[in-house]
Chain A
Amino acid sequence: MIELTASDFRPGRGSLAVWRRNVRVWRKLIRVSIVLNFGEPVIYLLALGYGLQRFVGAMDGLPYMVFLASGLLVSAVMHTTAFEAMYSVYTRMEPQKTYQAILATPLRVADIVAGELLWCATKGVIASTAILIVAGCMGLISFPGALGVIPVAFLTGLAFAGFVMPLAPFARSYDYFSYFYTLVIVPMFMCSGVFYPIDSLPAAGQWAASLLPLYHAVELARPLATQAPLSAPLVHGLVLLLYAGAGYALSVRFYSRRLLQ
């Protein structure tokens, strides 16, 4: 069994090389990625926004389209990051053996984990920026205040990468992630205040939502996008940081166990 010491958790500059590797791959597929980044929010905003707006009118004092757009700013981060931290990370770990190749260089598991978390957060920011642009063009959010969403998107990306990345070392195939996506990510998407305020949930639901990262990301992003005052931003920020930090530590542990047998 691998015994880790404190220094095994300290990432080095090598994590930036891992991040850059992923940027280089992304740049090759940039057209497809960008189309997806812009296409998905447009579909959500048009289909759900226009469809529901007529019936719902206002939600929590905001026009429904505005309410929805400000939530999608971070739920898109969740989807992008979770996908990357499950499927892409597993692909690099298992069929491509990219991590094995990297571990024959001076890089260590901590560098790989830190680089991947950083990359997941970067992708989250890209996804969120695409929505800022789309929603901005539709006049749903107000600049420049909404630019404050970008650091929130980065933090949200780190939190979700931390939430999801520790799973892959336990996976034996891609199917494993479908369960997690259907049983955890989708319910979180539905019940964290993206589509309606969580006050409408029963107490247990509210409690559950408040333990998960998406709710806290929404609580930060919506006021920033709609020029409303933030409530308890430190608490929300700390919860997201906690997910990121705990996820990092667990990932170093689990990936070491899987990769260094």
Chain B
Amino acid sequence: MRGRSSVCVPVSDPVIEFAHVVKQYDGRRVVDGLSLRIEQGQCFGLLGPNGAGKTTAIRMLLGMTHPESGSIRVLGHAVPEQAHRARAGMGVVPQLDNLDPDFSVRENLSVYASFFGLPDNTLDDRVDWLLEFAELTHKQHARIGELSGGMQRRLTLARALVNNPGLIVLDEPTTGLDPQVRHVMWSRLRDLQQSGKTLLLTTHYMEEAERLCDVLAIMDHGRIIAHGSPAELVRAHCERNVFEFPRLDAPQQAALDALPEVRLERSGTSWYAYTEQADPVHDWAAGHPQLRMLHRHHNLEDVFLRLTRRDLRD
């Protein structure tokens, strides 16, 4: 029996499963019937505007917020009832760094490991490896306050790995980082993914989602409104060609809108024309040589803006 089951591909018990989860604050449904499934080894991206319910969903996943209704299972444990068991197999990178300022870089890792019940005598090698992974070996005795923002972020990621988790949850892992640091974080996350870990990340950056994630879910108003691989989402929800116009006067707007199979939308002060066929727009633009125009392929950001509408959320 045992031998056979080890040969079988594990029948996909999802790593994370949300079913019809509802959470409200002061009568407002922040998470409104959320259902999702994340499989072993996936890098799953949760996208959505501010207030879409992403962080609340993550907190519920950790058992740090209790849902009003619905069910959540993580790593085979019912959450929030058995959340502490699930957390034993998880690593968490929170939105805001909460490294311990009372300790050095190295101590942050070893103290955090003690919360997982890992004995001190087995830790040195692991901590050495994590410091190397985060490129912080030279800073191991520094205090947290002496680290740059990028270093703190890397240390937070290293800290999330002390228990060698199979599932890593990252809430906006690269928000506020400069491009160099962001690229370092991305390559580290790809390493983790290649080593077979399951990743769940929330992000505002479409580029990040497109580069890292196998599966994306776009969330708005507490619900998932679109779901699929980045390429699928782009194909399904946006025309192939996008023309950006920094400025259009009213007659130009009307003319563009009247072209067959062109969808014209406004975002901020710019106008965007979406279409499968580029030629009609090019032909029209040829008659307006003064007009500033940028032609590009559709991308995830177009999908995101289209699905979550363009209004500001603050």
Contacts and interface: CB of A to CB of B under 8 A. Distances in A.
Interface of A: 2-3, 13-14, 17-18, 20-21, 24-25, 28, 96-98, 100-108, 259-261
Interface stretch (B81-89, B238-246, B272-280): B81-89
Report, nearest first, the 10 A-B pairs whose CB atoms are least far apart: A97-B98, A105-B115, A104-B92, A101-B98, A106-B88, A25-B102, A106-B84, A17-B114, A106-B87, A17-B115
A260 B103 contact: no
Nearest to B115: A105
A101 B117 contact: no
Contacts, number: 66
A1 to B, nearest CB: 8
Contacts of A13: 117
A24 B85 CA distance: 26
B100 interface: yes
A14 B87 CA distance: 13
Contact of A108 (B84, B90, B101, B163): B84
Contacts of A97: 96, 98
B112 A24 contact: no
A261 B115 contact: no
Contacts of B90: 104
B66 A14 contact: no
Contact of B116 (A18, A106, A261): A106
Contacts of B64: 100, 103-104, 259-260
A158 to B, nearest CB: 23
A259 B84 CA distance: 15
B66 A260 contact: yes
A261 B65 CA distance: 5
A17 B110 CA distance: 11
A24 B103 contact: yes
5 contacts: A13-B117, A96-B100, A98-B100, A101-B112, A104-B90
A103 B116 CA distance: 11
A104 B84 contact: no
B62 interface: yes
Contacts of B163: 105
Contacts of B102: 25, 28, 96
B62 A103 contact: yes
Given A96-B101, A104-B92, 11 more contacts: A17-B117, A21-B114, A24-B107, A25-B102, A98-B100, A101-B98, A103-B64, A104-B90, A105-B116, A107-B84, A261-B65
